[in-house]
Amino acid sequence: MNIPHTPRTAGPLAGSVVVDLSRALAGPHAGQMLGDLGARVIKVENPGAGDDSRSWGPPFAGPEDDPQSTYYLSCNRNKESIALDLKSDDGAETLRRLISRADVLIENFRSGVLDRLGFSTTAMTELNPRLVVLSITGFGHDGPEASRAGYDQIAQGEGGLMSLTGSGPDDMQRVGVPIADLLAGIHGAYGVLAALLERERTGRGKVVRTSLIAGMVGVHAFQGTRATIGGMEPLPGGNHHATLAPYGLFECQDGAVQISVGNERMWLRFCEEFGIDSADPRFATNGDRFANRDALIAAIEDAFSAYTPEPLLQKLSEAGIPAGVVRTLPEVYAWEQALSQGLKISAPHPTIGDIDLPGPPLRFFDADASGETETTVTEHLAPPRLSEQEATIREWLEG
């Protein structure tokens, strides 16, 4: 299948150019987010093997002589690819030309690598004073442990997230996706957008730095203040909330449902619907319920034992109690509500054919007196094969 390259002209970042030197996940995820917003993202890869994640599998898709890693496919949509040896004269010169025409450059090399190649932040901004540079590292670009390599599970542990996750204090677990990488990419992307907005006032670019560890600490939320202000050491609590009760996963007949009882009015209504004694002193306040959570869970699961999930969810909905089930990923991608939000997209790939991908999490609308008109980008590029658009990119640089 030969899919001609069509420049993207829609989206809030249409007309912007992003040079993506990153590999694996954190940087590529940031680049993908900017591509989803309409930017032209040019992925610069090593000749031969390309991005590390191209080999991360199984599973793979496509022909046996050109397998495509589904890991790589998850974080490189809406990009073009060119392979450059940055140690060669041609590779270095081509990158300099790309930098001169770019709005944003993304890199996640270990500290000092780009400097040794002649592409320090100072050198890049001399080439293009309007350039916004996003630099993502494992532990930060400075400080006593800046030289450490950053990998997601290590960052989840070092950044405290694993100490909060699992069935209990003796069962600490990693999150089921590379959340440290993903959050570093998300934080990096919003940092880039802020720098681009500032550039409208100053005319100059900015260096934006974040790290996997920063991403972890940045989402500690109330668990962080339980430690810093409350003097506590938060520990894993399984599928139940660390401060609210009842709030979590509860067994019922032939399954389980999740409920979130967020205030006292809701609790009294819940008790009335399910025959739980709201006057029981063990359950009088949220603090009491939390202190007696084992007894609370037992009482609720006893009440739920008369119901299978579907009628139980219907009863909870009628009572105004937020509730839901735990879906598998295939169930999510078949779910009408997810599809209505554009959370699964399709794009034509030259060797695999049409592929389904997780969709962008943002939608955009123009609003005026007559109402809203959706302007969300719906045409997407499949993740590129290695150096797939090299001829197109070089022709553009010559123009």
Contact between residue 359 and residue 282 where contact means Cβ atoms under 8 Å apart: no
Separation of CA 164 from chain center: 19
Burial of 137 (0-12, 13-18, 19+ CB in 10 A): buried
97 contacts: CB under 8 Å, gap ≥ 6: 397
353-372 pLDDT, tens digit each: 999 999 999 999 999 999 99
DSSP 3-state of 166: strand
In order of 248, 257, 288, 294, 351, the CA distances from 238 in angstroms are: 9, 15, 19, 13, 43
CATH assignment of 247-324, among 3.40.350.10, 3.30.1540.10, 3.40.50.720, 1.10.287.3510: 3.30.1540.10
Q: Among 181, 277, 294, 302, which one carries the catalytic annotation?
A: 181
249-301 pLDDT, tens digit each: 999 999 999 999 999 999 999 999 999 999 999 999 999 999 999 999 999 99
**Percentage of the chain lying above the pLDDT 90 cut:** 96
In order of 37, 257, 381, the CA distances from 331 in angstroms are: 27, 15, 25
| Residue 288 annotated among the catalytic residues of the structure | no
In this prediction, residue 6 carries a pLDDT of 59
Q: What angle do CA 354, 32, 352 make, to 5 degrees?
A: 20
In order of 141, 366, 376, the CA distances from 11 in angstroms are: 32, 12, 7
> Does an H or E element contain 295, and which?
helix 293-304
303 is written with which tokens?
A: 């009440």
Q: DSSP secondary-structure letter at 384?
A: P
Task: Determine if residue 263 is left, alpha or beta; phi over 0 gives left, psi from -120 to 50 gives alpha, anything else beta.
Answer: beta
Cα–Cα distance, 168 to 74 (Å, whole number): 31
Q: Angle between the 390-398 and 89-101 helix axes, to the nearest 10 degrees?
A: 70
CATH architecture assignment, domain 17-221+375-398: 3-Layer(aba) Sandwich (3.40)
Contact between residue 23 and residue 110 where contact means Cβ atoms under 8 Å apart: no
> Does an H or E element contain 251, and which?
strand 247-252
In this prediction, residue 1 carries a pLDDT of 54
In this prediction, residue 5 carries a pLDDT of 56
Contact between residue 68 and residue 94 where contact means Cβ atoms under 8 Å apart: no
Cα–Cα distance, 34 to 41 (Å, whole number): 8
Separation of CA 298 from chain center: 36
Q: Angle between the 26-36 and 179-202 helix axes, to the nearest 10 degrees?
A: 50
Contact between residue 391 and residue 80 where contact means Cβ atoms under 8 Å apart: no
pTM score, two decimals?
A: 0.94
Cα–Cα distance, 45 to 81 (Å, whole number): 7
Do the domains at 17-221+375-398 and 247-324 have one common CATH topology? no
Q: Which residue numbers in the chain have pLDDT < 50?
A: none
User: DSSP string of 47-65?
Assistant: TTT-SGGGG--S-EES-TT
The closest alpha carbon to 396, from 2, 3, 5, belongs to 5
Q: Angle between the 264-274 and 293-304 helix axes, to the nearest 10 degrees?
A: 40
What are the residues facing 42 on neighbouring strands?
A: 19, 80
Separation of CA 81 from chain center: 22
In this prediction, residue 112 carries a pLDDT of 87
Domain boundaries, the chain: 17-221+375-398, 247-324
Contact between residue 31 and residue 43 where contact means Cβ atoms under 8 Å apart: yes
In this prediction, residue 399 carries a pLDDT of 82
